[in-house]
Structure 1
């Protein structure tokens, strides 16, 4: 009864937040998920599927793709992040058994090279990274879940993180995403027969995070009366077996 009361109260809070902030809400067979607040813009969610206890939700987390080109900016780097808070309510008679947060990282890194006979070269560097972090808040406890992370990506790479923890009733889901890039140019000192000439070569790093999907495994939870009937049935089978043996 207390759990139901908490659920109704949390539902009222979600409704109030939705009317004030136009929150996006996802309704599934076993639970609801509502955007509550963000560091930037509201979280955009789309229900992809809800089949056989597996729910897949696409999320536009709002972390912008980044690119750093030393020809334009010189040596350095840049990054951006987006953070979201969502409210979830697992419906009575259901339980979340596991969740997986996945995404695709698209990255590129380029260091210009130039051949020379008599030269000294200071190497350049490139770096990129994408991070998905998440955590669960319920009953005053904060559980940080494994991070999905990739760095030095030159191409396309899938990342994911899975958390196995039973969840019932209301809880909060904190979700964050971050993209960072950095680059520094190679510098060549070339002897031309008369003097040393200095050349600065191009370095570029880029990264983008896409196709963020939250996959949730949901199972029905039998009512206590169901367990009682099952135990009674097993007892009857055992009693019948003993009578036959006698």
Structure 2
């Protein structure tokens, strides 16, 4: 008979960073902060120059985990599904607007099927990562959706949003991971013709890390500036017509 060993599930491993993180990141044209209900995340301003700010987001990558299988019951492979959502508030300063936002990060996956030493059935493993969209102030601005499957090693992922957007708004970020592992096995019969099974552990994992939001801002001319510009163009046009006469 097959012997069963309990499946082990582990998830949400803590990651470390050299960036000083807080609940708020202040850039030249805006401030990005965490609403009180999103204490699992933290922010770190990496750089802010030439209208481009780069902000590290830590904690959003907490949707991760791994699954191991050393039992592999038929049609019942152990799996692990995690999903997460983080919220952020943007306070765009007067005289500025956000033109684009780009979210980048690294997805690291491990797929290690159990392989029998001689003959038998190789284990089956899989993982999946889904990155959704930005939601801004109750309206959805599409960044597309990225789905990566069977990731082994590092994969770079990027989502982009073009706006522009002025004023204050909130943003929600979503992602989901799924892992499945079924052990390898081999069978033989002992001297009494009893079936003996040996299992070979399989392992699957995926996690999202080094998450950076790049925000590009630009000044917005005041109404008086527009009026002066239009007035100057009008005077220049009038002078050109007089010159022709």
TM-score by shorter chain over 0.5: yes
Indicate the SS of the match to 1:166: strand
1:54-69 aligned at under 5 Å gives the runs 54-60=52-58, 61-69=60-68
Match of 1:203 in 2: 202
* CA separation of 1:38 and 1:146: change in aligned 2, threshold 3 A: farther
Match of 2:123 in 1: 124
Match of 1:147 in 2: 145
Compute the TM-score of the two structures, normalised by the length of structure 2: 0.77
Match of 2:217 in 1: 218
Indicate the SS of the match to 1:114: coil
Match of 1:184 among 177, 182, 185: 182
Is contact 1:94–1:221 with CA below 8 Å preserved after alignment?
yes
* CA separation of 1:156 and 1:169: change in aligned 2, threshold 3 A: same
Which structure has the highest helix share of the two? 1
CA distance in 1: counterparts of 2:32 and 2:82, whole angstroms: 25
Match of 2:82 in 1: 80
* CA separation of 1:174 and 1:73: change in aligned 2, threshold 3 A: farther
Is contact 2:186–2:199 with CA below 8 Å preserved after alignment?
yes
Output one character per residue of 1:105-147: Cα deviation in whole Å (capped at 9) or x when no partner: 111101233365xx6x555321112333343232x53445423
Query: Which segments of 5 or more consecutive residues in structure 1 lack a partner in the other structure?
Result: 1-22
Output one character per residue of 1:80-112: Cα deviation in whole Å (capped at 9) or x when no partner: 333222211211111111111111011110123
Indicate the SS of the match to 2:144: coil
Match of 2:103 in 1: 101
Query: Which segments of 5 or more consecutive residues in structure 2 lack a partner in the other structure?
Result: 1-21
CA distance in 2: counterparts of 1:238 and 1:67, whole angstroms: 69
Aligned residues: 219
Output one character per residue of 1:144-199: Cα deviation in whole Å (capped at 9) or x when no partner: 54234422110011101001122111111112333321111234445899966544
Output one character per residue of 1:7-60: Cα deviation in whole Å (capped at 9) or x when no partner: xxxxxxxxxxxxxxxx81121111111101446x43110001111111110001
- Taking only aligned residues, the RMSD between alpha carbons, in angstroms, comes to 2.8
2:136 pairs with 1:137: yes
1:159-178 aligned at under 5 Å gives the runs 159-178=157-176
Indicate the SS of the match to 1:169: coil
Indicate the SS of the match to 1:101: strand
Indicate the SS of the match to 2:168: strand
CA distance in 2: counterparts of 1:129 and 1:56, whole angstroms: 27
Is contact 2:32–2:88 with CA below 8 Å preserved after alignment?
yes
Match of 2:42 in 1: 44
- What's the offset of the Cα at 1:214? 0.8
Indicate the SS of the match to 2:34: strand
